[in-house]
Structure 1
Amino acid sequence: MNNAIKTAIDLVGSQQKLGSACGVTQQAVYKWLHNKSKVAPEQVVRVVTATNGEVKAHEIRPDLPGLFPHPVQAA
């Protein structure tokens, strides 16, 4: 299960609502949630926006650090 997407669903209210906010179907969100497909890079920003930034881009696609780098933590 994709915990970032689960958090996004919980914050937005449902798979349907997250899908609507991102311009995709509920079925697409279900696939993201269950790791049957990855969130397309252009959809990552929409998920972040739908959650008011509570879910971070690097949490959704940690496999794309060049596009969505993890913020550098202070020492």
Structure 2
Amino acid sequence: MEHPIDRAAKVVGSQKALADRLGVTKAAVGQWKEEGRRVPAEHCPEIELLTGGVVRCEVLRPDVKWGVLRSSPCDDLDASVVHHIGAAGDRRTGGHPCASE
């Protein structure tokens, strides 16, 4: 089975190109494939973006709860609650980032 880093490198062009885009060395990228090593979580979203979703964060780091980060904090809020709190930028209420102006 192909390692997700190898798949990402193919999509981006090479392991060196992937390293350059991530601002790390080619050696660092190579080490992520070694037994017991893993991609630092902070690089996973960028790899997913660089590969157009071909290599997803969940494959690179299944130990991270990416679903929490993917879902909007506003998805579960009732619109009336957001309206009551106030629109974003409303100085009187402090606003709510999920409210529209």
TM range (shorter): 0.7 to 0.9
Aligned length: 67
Q: TM-score, structure 1 length as denominator?
A: 0.76
Higher relative contact order (CA 8 A, sep 6+): 1
Cα shift at 1:63: 1.9
Structure number with larger C-alpha Rg: 2
Cα pair distance change 1:51/1:5, threshold 3 Å:
same
Who is 1:30 aligned against?
30
Cα shift at 1:61: 0.5
Q: Which runs of 5+ in 2 are unaligned?
A: 68-101
CA displacement 1:22-50 (0-9 Å, x = unmatched): 11110111011234531111111111111
Runs of 4+ in 1 over 4 A off after TM superposition: none
Q: Which has the higher helix share?
A: 1
Q: TM-score, structure 2 length as denominator?
A: 0.58
Q: CA RMSD in A?
A: 1.9
For 1:38, what is the secondary structure of its paired residue?
coil
For residues 2 and 38 of structure 2, what CA distance do their matches in structure 1 show? 10
Contact conserved, 1:5 with 1:33, CA < 8 A, in 2? Answer: yes
